[in-house]
Structure 1
Amino acid sequence: MKRTLWVILGVILLIASITGLTWRSDLPAVELMMKYTTPNSGWMMTGGQNIHFTDAGTGQAILLIHGTGSSLHTWDGWNQMLAGPYRVVRLDLPGFGLSGPQPQGDYSREMYLTLFEDLRKALDIDRWTVVGNSFGGRLAGYYASDHPEVVSGLVLVNASGWPKTESSWNIFDLAKGPAGSLISHCTPKFLIERTLHNVYANDSLVSQDLIDRHYELLLFPGNRDALRDRLLEDYPDWTPETVTSITCPTLFLWGTEDPWFPESDARAWFNAMPNATFKAIPNAGHLPMEEVPVRTVAQFQPWHQMAIAP
């Protein structure tokens, strides 16, 4: 009995010490805005909050949507290469980047689609091609399905949304569980670094600047609580029946070394789509547009020129 009490006490002390070492306060919003806004940054008030976006270039419009735990900066490579011949629009989704948490805690499908439409109208864009990675790909698919009149093309980059045939644990599963509230305050940087190494196929491309950006923007005021709220929201997966509602030309860009969403599942999704093209990206992980932007843009541009009428 005495030994059991000592073990329990030891565990409590260990948890307390780890908590003390990893406890992190939010970083000042102004400091992060000064560091992470760009020359093309803009702000749009919608749903009671200011949404951070960038708008660069001319020509046919493209909307780039990032995934969970990320920000519009994940598209830096694409923006640099495409913002000449195209009008490239990126945004920080509510709860991520510099946009901060949604004031009402609303992370519903409807909120996101309203946001995209508000942004399109604010920028006076009639139609655009919508590109999404991971959770952003799921949202892009919803948008193409619900608003075919404004979505001229769809690009799914290692997107979520198709039922998984095999389970794979990731850091976001931790945030959904009992430890989720603790993660809102205890945010070890090594966990961010480990996750990036996991989703990149080439470890040498995980730079300190990349780690710092992901970590610091997670510490934007309210973003950690928002991450948990967003992860607890339920979003419907596609089925062979419902996916036929997406009628626009669709391009699958898939990093073949994705530990979370395997190529085999993506191929099943692709086979159910009525008007789709599939391009595998070898030696790239879950974020191929960030890891190998030159190779992914090289697949995107010819497809867009052929599939999307000006």
Structure 2
Amino acid sequence: MSSTEIQQTYIKVDNINLYCEFVLNDKPPILLIHGFASSIFTFRRIIPLLQKHFSVFAVDLPGFGKSEKPTSFVYNFQNYAKLMLECIHKLEIPNTYIVAHSMGGQIALNMALIAPEKINKLILLCSSGYLKRSKKLLICSSYLPFFEKFVQYYVRRKEVKEHLKNVFYNHTLINEELIREFGSPLSEKSFYKALIRLLRHREDDLLPEQLQTIQVPTLLVWGEEDRVVPLEIGKRLVQDLPDAKLITYKKTGHLITEEKPDLVFKNILLHTS
């Protein structure tokens, strides 16, 4: 089966309905994993570029985007990683390149730890790293009846545009489409339930000694003005990962696929060739 058009569908993996967009064209597969409170939309500017060179697969993680937001799923990186590996198996992909943004980077690194043979190379865009688990008091508080209201207030205390200003260096790129797309989950009750479960279940990010065992070749790409995951994290990761290289973009924030899609694509192509 081969198609140069972007296909949109749902696939059931471990009894969870996952929204998926893909392009099949008999070229090497590449899996795209978005970050926290985001979706496949993160990659909208690079998918048209990638599809000329890869069979592209992008999935909304459980709890985000158009995917199911189950209360039965344990929202931690290891489970996300296992689910994405199951997804690869379901799609009958023997091995793949992975491009992962922000929190998706931790998921990709966990995948590399669990099943390195399934991954050709990693491209981590402003990957999260070295975060500790939520404090016990916060985890305990998450079981209180009013906590969901508190999370809603905390998230919605700022306008969507203000949140976007935090992930962009160039604020002139923020438009109505972005505001609408990133603002749409905020009206879904299930979105907040998923956030609370992620706060409860999320383990520590991978420790240096775990990172040092990952042999998968890794490209780290960073915006030098990233205010969400500072460049210092990238500098630490490149030291801990045995086979890693760090590339940085000047005058670029956290959402580099929006600010520098052509450069991101070029670096992906160079790293995978």
Of structures 1 and 2, the larger Rg is shown by: 1
Deviates more, 1:262-271 or 1:64-73: 262-271
Matched, 1:261 2:211: no
2:184 matched residue in structure 1: 216
Amino acid in the other structure paired with 1:273: L
Matched, 1:181 2:122: no
Question: What are the Cα deviations for residues 212-234 of structure 1, in whole angstroms up to 9, with x where unaligned?
Answer: 00111343451122122212323
Q: Deviations over 1:35-62 (max 9, x none)?
A: xxx9511211123221101111421111
Instruction: Tell me if structure 1 keeps the 8 A contact 2:63–2:191.
Output: yes
Conserved 8 A contact 1:48-1:103 = no
1:297 alignment partner in structure 2: 265
Counterparts in 2 of 1:273 and 1:50: CA distance versus 1, 3 Å: same
User: Structure 2: how far apart are the matches of 1:219 and 1:265?
Assistant: 32
Q: Do 2:128 and 2:233's aligned partners in 1 also have CA atoms closer than 8 Å?
A: no
Deviation of 1:74 (Å): 0.6
Task: Measure the CA separation in 1 of the matches of 2:126 and 2:255.
Answer: 7
CA contact (8 A) 2:31 2:96 kept: yes
Structure 1 residue 190, shift from structure 2 partner: 4.6
Helix, strand or coil at the partner of 1:245? coil
State the partner residue of 2:168.
200
Report the AA paired with residue 43 of structure 1.
Y
Report whether the alignment pairs 1:48 with 2:15. yes
Q: Is the 8 A contact 1:57 1:84 kept in 2?
A: no
Rounded to whole Å, the distance in 2 between the matches of 1:263 and 1:110 is 24
Pick from 40, 45, 52: which aligns with 1:77? 45
Letter in 1 for 2:23: A
CA distance in 2, matches of 1:183, 1:76: 32
Q: 2:252 aligns with which of 284, 288, 296?
A: 284
Q: Which aligned runs of 4 or more in structure 1 are off by greater than 4 angstroms?
A: 175-180, 183-187
Are positions 1:140 and 2:108 aligned together?
yes
Following superposition, the deviation at residue 63 of structure 1 comes to 0.7
CA contact (8 A) 1:136 1:159 kept: yes
Say how many residue pairs are matched: 258
Whether the 8 Å contact between 1:254 and 1:280 is mirrored in structure 2 is: yes
2-structure distance, mates of 1:56, 1:231? 33
Work out which of the residue numbers 66, 71, 96 in structure 1 matches 2:34: 66
For residue 122 of structure 1, report the CA deviation from its aligned partner. 1.7
Structure 1 residues 222-249: Cα deviation after superposition (integer angstroms, max 9, x where no partner): 1122122212323222333211221011
Amino acid paired to 2:217: P
Q: Show the counterpart of 2:195.
A: 227
**Paired residues of 1:258 and 1:285 also in contact (CA < 8 A):** yes
Deviations 1:244-276 (A, max 9, x none): 221011000011111122112211210121111
Kept after mapping to 2: 8 A contact 1:96/1:218: no
Instruction: Report the Cα offset of residue 131 of structure 1.
Output: 1.5
Residues in 2 aligned to 1:302 and 1:158: alpha-carbon distance in whole angstroms = 18
Q: Does 1:127 align with 2:95?
A: yes
Gaps of 5+ in 2: 133-140
Q: CA RMSD in A?
A: 2.4
8 A contact 1:70–1:96 mirrored in 2: yes
- Measured after TM superposition, the shift of residue 155 of structure 1 is 1.2
* 8 Å CA contact retained: 2:71, 2:194: no
TM-score computed with the length of structure 1 as normaliser: 0.77
CA offset at residue 303 of structure 1?
1.7
Identity %: 26
Question: Are the counterparts in 2 of residues 53 and 91 from structure 1 also a CA contact under 8 Å?
Answer: yes
Structure 1 distance, partners of 2:127, 2:152, is 29
The equivalent residue for 1:23 is none
Instruction: With the length of structure 2 as denominator, give the TM-score of the two structures.
Output: 0.87
Q: How does 1:231-246 map to 2 (within 5 A)?
A: 231-246=199-214
Task: Answer whether contact 2:82 2:111 (CA < 8 A) is retained.
Answer: no
Distance 1:193 1:121, change over 3 A: same
Contact 1:100 1:221 in 2 (8 A): no
Q: Pick the aligned partner of 1:252 from 220, 239, 247.
A: 220
